[in-house]
Each structure stands twice: as structure tokens, then as C-alpha cells.
Structure 1
Amino acid sequence: MTKANFQDKQLVIDILSKSFDKNKSVNFIVKQDKKRSQRLKALMSYSFDMCCHYGDVYLSDDRKGCALILYPDTKQTSLKSILLDIKLIINCIGIENIPKAMRRESAIKKVQPSLPVYYLWFVGVEPSHQDKGIGSALMAELLEDSDNKKLPIYLETSTVKNLPWYKKFGFNTYHELDLSYKLFFLKRDVGVTN
């Protein structure tokens, strides 16, 4: 895998927007109107920017898959982060959906750990290239990266069919949350062998 840079932003947005188009958790946040696909891209743009500032963005070597990693303990409130949040509200969530989004985020934050972690925010593969091992190869490299950084990996998923895939890589479900859809909280400790 390679570290993405700002020139890769559109590619990452495209991969993730296509990969998460039908995702329940993502669509809970994205305002569902005639601009939904633009709003979904706005969410991925926001996520890319946040990870560029407070984490890492990786591309698979073939540039068909990507991962957004956040280090929550490094995230700081700044003018830049406030402007990104405002842009997210206007372009993705919608002002009328702020209370729903805030309740969701509050419920999630209560479950997430407060210690330093390797937070796998998004991992996706271009849909036409899925089931070819690209995601698995990328995940193996992410595991190695987290182990090298001595940070456990945490993530959430609402996609039940992905749970066995994560389990194959040593992830365990540590919590479930009902938000009109089921959200599964997973973690993998440092040095776990598959």
C-alpha cells in the first residue's frame, strides 16, 4: 500500500462513494434527497480531509482500494476542523438532521475507547474489482501498520455480511448498538495472529 496525497483525493472519494453507496450507517447520516450522491461524496471528502490532518489515507498498490485511518487522540478543535464540520453539515447532513446525527455520534462516542487507537474509519474497494483479494491484501498491510505503531485497531460496521471477513483478520465484536439499524463495534489487539 502507498500513502495517498491530496492529488489522490478524487480517486479515494470515488472508491469510497461507490463502495458505501448502500451502507446503512452512511445513509443514516447522509441526507436522503435528490442530491444524495453528491452528499455521499461530501461525506467522503470530509473524511479524507480529516484523515489527512489527523490520520493517514492509504491506497492499495493497484489503486483500486483505499483505507482512511484516524488517530482520534490527535484530533484537535481548530478553525480548520470547525470549518470542515460546518461544510459537512451544509453539504451532507442537512441542518434539519443535526439532532439525529448528534445523537448517533454521542451514542458511538460512549462506546469507543478513549485510549490511543488506530481507527479504521473506512476501507473500500472499487466495486468492479471486489472479491479479487484487493481488500484482503490491503487489510493485511493495515494490520502490519497498526502492529508497527503498537496501536489496536477499532472500527464499526453495519454490514453483517462483512463480520466473518473481519473475524478472519482477528477482529472481535465488543459491542452492538441499535440505531434503527444494527451497528457492530469491532477491535483487534496489537499482535493478534490470524
Structure 2
Amino acid sequence: MYTYKYQDLALALYEALIPDPFYIELLRDIPGGEQKKQEILMRYMDYSMKEGEEYGRLTITGDPAYGAAIWSQPLNPAADNEKSLLKKDFITTYMGEPALRAYSTIVSFMSKQLDPILYDAWYLSIAGIKPSHQGRGLGVNLLMEMLNETDKNGIPTYLETFTPRNIRFYERVGYKIAKEVSEPVTGCPYWIMIREPLR
């Protein structure tokens, strides 16, 4: 039985990110209909938020909360391996082997597209605002807490997005497209965006 820490936020992230090709692919072979897929992706989002607390940073906005950003910091090889093994164990247990295969294949491909310089950067792995609260500038506030800190410490950050309409939003907070890539499992393009620290 899975125990949530951030159930309401997991629902908000589910609603914000369910159209994303990455998550569609993870859920493709899940039996049981849309309700089952929602439950499984909410668990994934909750786990990812707990993972962010453990290995990076989790920022939350709203009261009650309606948005979250999950940041991963550069890790030493032992910690990075531990994080990866725990994530794969979670996916196997709660999502199944087909989801693990899709996850592993996509993440492996995407990792190979990164410039080695980004291995010292913070990574914005997941960010989302509940759709009913979007369009009010809340996403900027969600990200700036962390970006002000990386600016102060001279640390670059990067992200990947499969959603073209998100590009303009991320450009507003200082990200620039570094590369457009066609991801073979989803059959969709995605964009690597980098934000150099502002002095």
C-alpha cells in the first residue's frame, strides 16, 4: 500500500502534466482505465517530490498548495546510483515492468543528449501548477525562489520540456533553448533549455 506525503499536490501535478508525452508513454501499458492511470501517476509525482526533498530541493506554492517544482542537484556517483536504483525500484513496484522499460529507455536517451557541462548544474525535473490556477504568474514565483539562490551562488540550471507552449514561459525567467531533440520512444520533439546564473 502506497503512503502519500503530498496527495493534493500530486493531483495538481497530475492534472498539469498528464498531456506530456513522457508521462503518456509511462502509462501506455497500464491496465485498468484512466482512473488507475491517474492513481499511478499521482504516486509517481508524490514519490518524485519526496525524492526532490532527499536529493535536491522541492519548492511549493499556494495555500492550500497548488503547484510544485522539483529540483535535482549534482550528486556524487554513489548518491546518484542510489537515487537511480530507488527510483527504478519504485517504478517496478508501483507502475510495472513496461513503465520501467519506457522510463529507462527515455531517460538513458535524454541523458546522452546533455552537454557534459550540465553535470554541474541543477536540474528542474518537474514543475507544474494546477490548471485552474495557471495564467496568473504563479509559475514564475514558484521557480524564482530557487533561481534567486542559484544566481547568488553562480550555478546554472537546465530543464527539458516536451511542451512547446512552455518554452515562452521558461524564456521569461531566463532560460534559453540549447537544443531541440527528437525522442524516439515517444516520437516527439523536446527542448533542452539552459539558464546561466544572472549576476
Pairwise TM-score range, normalised by the shorter structure: 0.7 to 0.9
Q: What residue in structure 1 maps to residue 126 of structure 2?
A: 122
Q: Deviations over 1:17-43 (max 9, x none)?
A: 111121112222234432211221122
Change (3 A) 1:189 1:13: same
Question: Aligned in 2, Cα 1:149/1:26: closer, same or farther, shift over 3 Å?
Answer: farther
Distance 1:8 1:45, change over 3 A: closer
Q: Deviations over 1:24-82 (max 9, x none)?
A: 1222223443221122112212311221211111112543221111114254333x763
Counterpart among 153, 160, 169 of residue 157 in structure 2: 153
TM-score by length of 1: 0.83
Q: Tell me if structure 1 keeps the 8 A contact 2:29–2:98.
A: no
Alignment match, 1:51? 52
Tell me which amino acid in the other structure corresponds to 1:40. L
1:144, CA displacement in angstroms?
0.6
- Paired residues in the alignment total 185
3-state SS of 1:57 partner: strand
Q: Answer yes or no: is 1:144 the counterpart of 2:151.
A: no
Structure 1 gaps of 5+ residues are: 1-5
Q: In 2, distance between residues paired with 1:87 and 1:19?
A: 22
Structure 2 counterpart of 1:182, from 157, 167, 189: 189
Give the distance between the partners of 1:95 and 1:136, measured in 2 at CA: 36
Instruction: Indicate the RMSD between aligned Cα atoms, in angstroms.
Output: 2.4
Give the Cα separation in 1 of the matches to 2:22 and 2:175.
19
- The match for 1:108 is 110
* Alignment CA distance shift 1:29-1:144 (3 Å): same
Residue 91 (structure 1) aligned with residue 94 (structure 2): yes
Q: Which residue of 2 aligns with 1:26?
A: 23
Q: CA deviation at 1:190?
A: 0.8
Q: Which moved more, 1:100-109 or 1:124-133?
A: 100-109
- Is 1:36–2:25 an aligned residue pair? no
> Where does structure 2 lack aligned partners over 5 or more consecutive residues?
none
**Structure 1 counterpart of 2:92, which letter?**
I
Q: CA deviation at 1:112?
A: 2.6
Taking only the aligned residue pairs, the percentage that are identical comes to 23
Structure 2 Cα separation of the partners of residues 186 and 72 of structure 1: 17
- Residue of structure 1 equivalent to 2:12: 15
Paired residue for 1:172? 176
The TM-score with structure 2 as length reference comes to: 0.81
